Amino acid sequence: MKLVIAKDTDKYFGSQLRELDFPLEILAIDPEDSSNPSWDFIPECDAFFLSYQFLFAIRDNHELFEPLLNLTKRMKFIQTGYAGMDDPFCQAMLNESDAIIANASSIHAIPISHYVFSQMLRWNKRIDQHIELQQEKNWSPMGGDGELTNKTLLILGYGGIGKEVAKLGKAFGMNVIGIRRNPEVCEFADQVVTMDSLEEFLPLTDFLVLALPNAKDTDNVINKSVLEKLNNSAMLINVGRGNAVNEQDLANALDKDELAAAALDTTKVEPLDSSSDLWKAKNCFISAHDSAHSLLGLPRAFQLFMENVQNFKENKPITNLYR
């Protein structure tokens, strides 16, 4: 089998590939330089590990877009190192490459779930206020609730990320409700229901976590009507896609104290425009879509690639098959 991977990936993980029990030819290329070695001369290959390094390279140098797209057209199987497939390059690849494609859905669920709980605890334990008091050299004990026990956690989008959030929620003694298209029994949730039950649980919710994909039926599902039904002490955290939230409605709700706080790791347009009211909305924390970052992300994605290389060779089902 002929495999294409990034040079850095080969440096750190290539030895694991070479331990597989069938012959391999590994072509290691530089994601930032399409002439090193020349991507144009790479023949048709069996598999390509499309890691984040390639997308970062395209972002920094758009001239690499077409050479990389042409490279994907000569692949039989492509494993991405990320879950989302809605960026311009992946959309072009889906349209123009005939390769079997798998994503890395859920490999980032652990760091994303940790982000969710860091935001919950940051708000619940009044961390920002403590920092301000320290800067003022002001020794003033803070009141407040202080723990997550018995709080209601409503997770909208109960897939891999949602389940990892639920797992932590149960560890903290929370009441966990998951919402998904097709309800299922899950050991980490007290209930899993459909979207039809959303309004029933909104008034009871302390933390509303969004882990929704970018799709037409998720556009603006969080809007003025939904926010009005949440109790005003609730916090909203979005780690899915920005299309799910009507951003002006959210900013208004925060500024009117109709919602206590929000943490957004994703917005409709990224980067968020400087004119957006979210930047200055009350108790709104914004991060640059980096909740998935983890030093363990690439090893997890590469392990999935190795498993799927074997699956592809042996004509077995591909894990996380996208199309």
Rounded to whole angstroms, the Cα distance separating 251 from 261 reads 10
The more confidently predicted of residues 235 and 36 is: 235
Dihedral of alpha carbons 274, 278, 282, 283, sign: negative
Q: What digits encode the pLDDT tens for the residues 239-251?
A: 999 999 999 999 9
Q: If one looks up domain 2-107+294-313 in CATH, what number appears?
A: 3.40.50.720
Where does CATH 3.40.50.720 sit in the chain? Answer: 2-107+294-313, 109-286
Q: Is 135 helix (H, G, I), strand (E, B) or coil?
A: helix
In order of 41, 88, 113, 122, the CA distances from 139 in angstroms are 67, 51, 32, 19
Q: What is the DSSP letter of 2?
A: E
Rounded to whole angstroms, the Cα distance separating 155 from 174 reads 12
Task: Flag whether pLDDT at 143 surpasses 90.
Answer: no
pLDDT score of 106: 83
pLDDT score of 184: 84
pLDDT score of 240: 96
Catalytic residue among 270, 300, 307, 323: 270
Q: For the chain, give the percent of residues with pLDDT over 90.
A: 92
Residue 270 bears catalytic tag: yes
> By the 8 A CB rule, do 179 and 193 touch?
yes
Question: H helices within the chain, ranges in order?
Answer: 7-17, 52-60, 65-72, 88-96, 109-124, 127-135, 160-171, 198-201, 224-229, 247-255, 297-313
Give me the chain's average pLDDT, please: 95
Query: For 28-53, what is the mean pLDDT?
Result: 95
Instruction: Output the DSSP codes for 149-176.
Output: TT-EEEEES-SHHHHHHHHHHHHTT-EE
Q: What digits encode the pLDDT tens for the residues 3-40?
A: 999 999 999 999 999 999 899 999 999 999 999 989 99
pTM: 0.92
Catalytic residue among 108, 180, 247, 289: 289
- Which residue do the tokens 């144009």 mark? 40
pLDDT score of 120: 98
Q: Give 3-38 as a 3 state SS string.
A: EEEEHHHHHHHHHHHCCCCCCCEEEEECCCCCECCE
**Residue 177 belongs to what H/E stretch?**
strand 175-179
Q: What digits encode the pLDDT tens for the residues 148-164?
A: 999 999 999 999 999 99
Beta pairing partners, 28:
5
Catalytic residue among 180, 241, 247, 300: 241
Q: For the chain, give the percent of residues with pLDDT over 70.
A: 100
Query: For 258-264, what is the mean pLDDT?
Result: 98
Which top CATH class is 109-286?
alpha beta
Residue 241 bears catalytic tag: yes
pLDDT score of 84: 86
Rounded to whole angstroms, the Cα distance separating 152 from 10 reads 45
The two three-digit tokens of residue 300, written as one number: 């997890």
pLDDT score of 257: 97
Q: What digits encode the pLDDT tens for the residues 188-204?
A: 999 999 999 999 999 99
Rounded to whole angstroms, the Cα distance separating 312 from 107 reads 20
pLDDT score of 186: 86
Beta pairing partners, 154:
177, 208
Residue 44 bears catalytic tag: no
Interior CA angle at 112 toward 111 and 113, to 5°?
90
Q: What digits encode the pLDDT tens for the residues 54-76?
A: 999 999 999 999 999 999 999 99
Q: What is the DSSP letter of 197?
A: G
